[in-house]
């Protein structure tokens, strides 16, 4: 049996290695248009910033090592130009010599990946405009930094790569501005969770221009003039990080079915509509694990799994891909941002009847030094209680909590199941009531009616005509740092002594700093016959969101 694999990196290289492990006699040909078959594309920004110092560390497998270990016929700088399914032939061009030749196959795996989107704007082909997807892209940027010594950079796109490059260009000594078309950075986050990221980015010296997009690029004697939809600014270099599109022209040319966005449609065994042709990685349409709907979520982990599954099925093993839930983590300077499953925008688009809550929990026992708080947001289905998604922004311990939540989603857990998880505890690592447990406790209280919530977006519309009581139960010191207009102030520990100041028969809306003390206040009030609602996430979340919705950085302060 002869299998040709078009494209290496995560999906293609994984498929080749799995095929060899399953069938020592198989003939395996791996074609790669570039000079590298398997490299750490997630590590590319860190080579530019200097965390990774050796270029060789980015190369996971060389053609020589792959041949030696797996006996795979690896041909780099070889481009598949045509597929003829009726004859099971791939036409190949040697990019070094220009020679064109044909190879027959029994099975074919497509792993062409995706290419960076280059917006169709004037001047985008300037030598000072870069994308980052491959090692050659990385070396091009590295050479520019060393030879041209730029002092400023604009990054168009505030996704994971854009954020990582902002950090690493800043570490390389550049002044960095992120331009983002949306109203917040990191699309998998909701705005309220991204607000902390915005504030932290600015504290690290990163300038933000949101709600604005790229319009034009032109070279000047000093560098680049970058035209935006609103205003313009100058920089020495520009990095495009506005997303990727499936690289599927080869597939389209031989009749393989594509979706409306150009991604290859496969079944759960990674088979295309053409017999004996499989497809894996960033070029394929996947099923969203939570909603069951078609989606595109280009991530390395799913690509590796899909390569393995395609190889299994080629070798006669039953293996299926069950969908992608979008689990991802980002380190940004010292901050960690992690997501899994659905955010609110996706839940609404899927017409799900969901509920949500927020926590602000310590990474480990508060009495043990070195801890920090993390912001947690969870979504669940109101009817089934199935956990739908989670977002965490913090510093220490974010990744391990998100891994637990991602696992819970994968195994269909209810949000209330989080309360019952028995997680590892010692003071340097966590708390006896882990933040994941706390998420379950809070959700359980909401579901059983022990806790009624209102949210930051409800605050402005709360009645201030005397038909309700608005109550702040923080300390005097906390209140002095800022407050919400219209909220009377009674610290929690003196609340029972001042119940006579709170009229009966009217709803009470309560907040504290994070939502915990105001929950206690609500239990006191409900125990005394009041109807009470707690501000989810508390003053801390409200202030963060409102501040980021009103700060002047949302207008391009550099624009002319």
- Residue 551: what pLDDT? 64
Confidence of residue 66 (pLDDT cuts 50, 70, 90): confident
Whether residue 559 has pLDDT greater than 70: no
DSSP 3: E
- Whole-number percent of the chain with pLDDT over 70: 98
Q: How far is the C-alpha of 56 from the C-alpha of 315, rounded, in Å?
A: 33
Q: Convert the pLDDT of each residue in 481-491 to its tens digit.
A: 999 999 999 99
CA distances from 437 to 213, 355, 404, 424 (A): 41, 17, 10, 12
Confidence of residue 555 (pLDDT cuts 50, 70, 90): very low
Q: Give the end-to-end CA distance of the chain in Å, rounded to a whole number.
A: 64
What average pLDDT score do residues 195-222 get? 96
SS3 assignment for 105-142: CCEEEECCCEEECCCCCECCCCCCEECCCCHHHHHHHH
Residues across the chain = 560
Q: How far is the C-alpha of 152 from the C-alpha of 242, rounded, in Å?
A: 19
- Residue 63: what pLDDT? 80
- Residue 554: what pLDDT? 43
Judge whether 392 and 337 are in contact, CB under 8 Å: yes
Q: Model's pTM, two decimal places?
A: 0.94
Per the annotation, the verdict on 532 as an active-site residue is: no
Q: Convert the pLDDT of each residue in 421-460 to its tens digit.
A: 999 999 999 999 999 999 999 999 999 999 999 999 999 9
Best CA proximity match to 31, nearest among 78, 69, 66: 78
The better pLDDT of the pair 39, 417 is held by 417
What average pLDDT score do residues 30-40 get? 83
What average pLDDT score do residues 336-349 get? 98
What residue spans of 429-515 are helical by DSSP H? 435-447, 476-480
Whether residue 360 has pLDDT greater than 80: yes
State the average pLDDT for the chain. 94
Q: How far is the C-alpha of 454 from the C-alpha of 464, rounded, in Å?
A: 15
- Residue 370: what pLDDT? 87
Q: Convert the pLDDT of each residue in 111-170 to its tens digit.
A: 999 989 999 999 999 999 999 988 889 999 999 999 999 999 999 999 999 999 999 999
Whether residue 210 has pLDDT greater than 90: yes
CA distances from 470 to 79, 169, 450, 507 (A): 67, 46, 19, 9
Tokens of 196: 């902390």
Confidence of residue 560 (pLDDT cuts 50, 70, 90): very low
Q: How far is the C-alpha of 360 from the C-alpha of 398, rounded, in Å?
A: 12
Judge whether 247 and 79 are in contact, CB under 8 Å: no
Whether residue 553 has pLDDT greater than 80: no
Helix axes 538-550, 191-203, angle to 10 degrees: 70
């Amino acid at each position: 049996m002869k299998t040709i694999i078009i494209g290496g990196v995560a999906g293609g290289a994984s498929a080749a290695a799995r095929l060899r492990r399953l069938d020592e006699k198989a003939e395996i040909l791996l074609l790669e248009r570039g000079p590298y078959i398997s490299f750490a594309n997630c590590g590319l920004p860190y080579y530019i910033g200097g965390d990774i110092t050796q270029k060789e560390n980015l190369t996971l497998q060389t053609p020589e090592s792959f041949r030696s270990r797996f006996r795979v016929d690896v041909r780099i700088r070889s481009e598949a130009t045509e597929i003829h399914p009726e004859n099971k032939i791939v036409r190949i061009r040697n990019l070094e010599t220009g020679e064109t030749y044909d190879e027959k196959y029994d099975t074919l795996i497509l792993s062409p990946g995706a290419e960076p989107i280059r917006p169709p704007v004037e001047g985008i082909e300037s030598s000072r405009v870069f994308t980052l997807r491959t090692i050659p892209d990385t070396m091009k940027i590295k050479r520019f930094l060393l030879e041209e010594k730029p002092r400023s950079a604009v990054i168009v796109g505030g996704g994971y790569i854009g954020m990582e490059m902002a950090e690493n260009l800043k570490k390389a000594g550049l002044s960095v501005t992120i331009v983002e078309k949306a109203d917040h950075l990191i699309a998998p986050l909701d705005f309220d969770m991204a607000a902390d990221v915005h504030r932290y980015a600015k504290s690290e010296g990163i300038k933000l221009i949101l709600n604005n997009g790229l319009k034009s690029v032109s070279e000047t004697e000093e560098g680049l003039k970058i035209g935006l939809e609103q205003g313009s600014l100058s920089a020495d270099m520009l990095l495009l990080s506005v997303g990727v599109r499936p690289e599927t022209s080869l597939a389209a040319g031989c009749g393989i079915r594509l979706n409306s966005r150009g991604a290859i449609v496969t079944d759960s065994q990674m088979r295309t509509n053409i017999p004996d042709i499989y497809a894996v990685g960033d070029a394929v349409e996947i099923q969203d694990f939570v909603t069951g709907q078609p989606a595109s979520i280009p991530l390395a982990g799913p690509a590796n799994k899909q390569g393995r599954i395609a190889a299994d099925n080629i070798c006669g093993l039953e293996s299926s891909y069950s969908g992608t839930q979008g689990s991802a983590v980002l380190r940004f300077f010292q901050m960690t941002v992690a997501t899994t499953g659905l955010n609110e925008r996706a839940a609404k688009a899927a017409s799900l009847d969901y509920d949500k809550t927020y926590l602000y929990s310590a990474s480990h026992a508060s009495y043990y030094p070195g801890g920090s708080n993390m912001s947690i947001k969870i979504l669940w289905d109101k009817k089934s209680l199935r956990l739908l998604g989670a977002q965490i922004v913090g510093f220490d311990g974010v990744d391990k909590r998100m891994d637990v939540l991602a696992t819970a989603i994968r195994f269909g857990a209810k949000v209330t199941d989080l309360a019952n998880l028995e997680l590892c505890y010692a003071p340097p690592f966590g708390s006896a009531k882990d933040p994941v447990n706390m998420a379950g406790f809070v959700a359980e209280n909401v579901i059983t009616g022990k806790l009624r919530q209102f949210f930051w977006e409800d605050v402005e519309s709360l009645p201030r005509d005397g038909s309700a009581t608005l109550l702040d139960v923080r300390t005097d010191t906390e209140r002095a740092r800022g407050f919400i207009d219209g909220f009377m102030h009674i610290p929690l520990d003196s609340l029972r002594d001042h119940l006579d100041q709170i009229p009966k028969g009217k709803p009470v809306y309560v907040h504290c700093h994070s939502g915990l003390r105001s929950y206690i206040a609500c239990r006191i009030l409900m125990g005394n016959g009041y109807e009470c609602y707690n501000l989810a996430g508390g003053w801390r979340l409200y202030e963060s969101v409102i501040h980021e919705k009103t700060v002047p950085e949302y207008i391009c302060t550099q624009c002319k």
